A = this chain, B = another copy of it.
């Protein structure tokens, strides 16, 4: 009695042909079958604890109700939040996510994608890629792809956040506090999410009439806590005396904070700091970090919605979700 019940099992128990059983069990075809037969089949099914074999179903229908989720590293809180958002909307539609981490490594990426494609995923949500062309091909071959979080040159539907607006709010917040010497510490990498940020910084500063002597922009290839610390330390060594710094992400902000601490300067008294992303722990830092909240889970959800829309035959637009500037305790008026 170990084996799983199959469609034929319920059919024989109900005394009908298995084709009929199939029709009786699925919503969209049940109306082709007499009510009493439907009843008989259904009760047979529950008696046998029948659940359809999705593999067989997939082979027949070419749909697996499975989507691939491609992130750089699921252990990274941004990717994790995004994945959660994806799951939340997939669940409602009967889909589940095949999640892979690429480590931002092209070889890994290719092989993971291959693994997903050969498993016939119905679509892909990609939150990490150095090779968008890879996905254009996939999309062209019929597997829909939605890009999330990072904007890349492509015509694939993409869900991003308007981090530029956040930078603008950050700058205006600082200006209204009385700051004039504002530095930017960020990543120069190819991730467009990084580029947007420092470009936005420069643009807004200029727009506010702050000339280049008022701003110091420092970029590094990395984007970790250490990179932020190093960049800020060098800025100080070279005589920079910003009263506030905007960091390209929260980790780099933490790096700046650590340098301050080491030099016996304090935040926000001596220098104000603003981060970006609003990672899970930022409110518990000392001081709690003022930062730009990027709605990663919502980005994931929106990407999943877009993918489902494509699967329904619609043609969703790319969207840009608003960010939220959240002021906590790492910013204050400049002292003196």
CB neighbours (8 Å) of A66 from chain B are: 98, 119
Known: A84-B101, A97-B99. 12 other contacts (CB 8 A): A2-B142, A55-B119, A59-B59, A66-B119, A83-B99, A87-B99, A94-B115, A96-B115, A96-B119, A98-B98, A225-B284, A285-B285
Question: A99: which of B64, B94, B99 is its contact (CB, 8 Å)?
Answer: B99
Please encode chain A, from 1 to 20, with 1 for each CB lying within 8 Å of some chain B CB and 0 for all others.
01010000000000000000
CB distance from A168 to the nearest CB of B (A): 27
Chain B CB within 8 A of A74 CB? yes
Question: Which residues of A in the span 71-93 have a Cβ within 8 Å of any Cβ on B?
Answer: 73-77, 79-81, 83-84, 87, 91
Chain B CB within 8 A of A258 CB? yes
A293–B115 CA distance with the chains assembled, in angstroms: 33
A84→B74 contact, CB < 8 A: yes
B53→A120 contact, CB < 8 A: yes
A297–B74 CA distance with the chains assembled, in angstroms: 11
Binding site for B on A (CB under 8 A): 2, 4, 51-56, 58-59, 64, 66, 73-77, 79-81, 83-84, 87, 91, 94, 96-101, 108, 112, 114-120, 141-142, 225, 254, 258, 261, 279-281, 284-286, 297
Of the A-B pairs whose beta carbons lie under 8 Å apart in the complex, a sample of 26, sorted by A's number, is A2-B141, A51-B118, A53-B59, A55-B119, A56-B59, A66-B119, A73-B84, A74-B74, A74-B80, A74-B84, A74-B87, A74-B99, A75-B77, A75-B80, A77-B80, A80-B80, A87-B99, A91-B108, A96-B98, A96-B112, A96-B116, A97-B99, A225-B284, A280-B281, A281-B281, A285-B286
A75–B281 CA distance with the chains assembled, in angstroms: 12
A59–B64 CA distance with the chains assembled, in angstroms: 13
Question: A83: which of B55, B74, B116, B258 is its contact (CB, 8 Å)?
Answer: B74
B87→A81 contact, CB < 8 A: no
CB neighbours (8 Å) of A98 from chain B are: 66, 96-99
Given contacts A98-B98, A100-B96, contact A77 B280 (CB under 8 A): yes
CB neighbours (8 Å) of A56 from chain B are: 59
B51→A114 contact, CB < 8 A: yes
Copies of this chain, tallied across the complex: 2
A75→B84 contact, CB < 8 A: yes
CB neighbours (8 Å) of A64 from chain B are: 55, 119
Give the one of A97, A115, A142 with max B CB within 10 A. A115
CB neighbours (8 Å) of A284 from chain B are: 225, 254, 258, 285
Chain B: which residue is nearest A111 at the CB level?
B91
Given contacts A75-B81, A100-B87, contact A55 B2 (CB under 8 A): no
CB distance from A227 to the nearest CB of B (A): 14
Question: A52: which of B74, B77, B112, B118 is its contact (CB, 8 Å)?
Answer: B118
CB distance from A320 to the nearest CB of B (A): 22
Chain B: which residue is nearest A100 at the CB level?
B96
Chain B: which residue is nearest A115 at the CB level?
B96
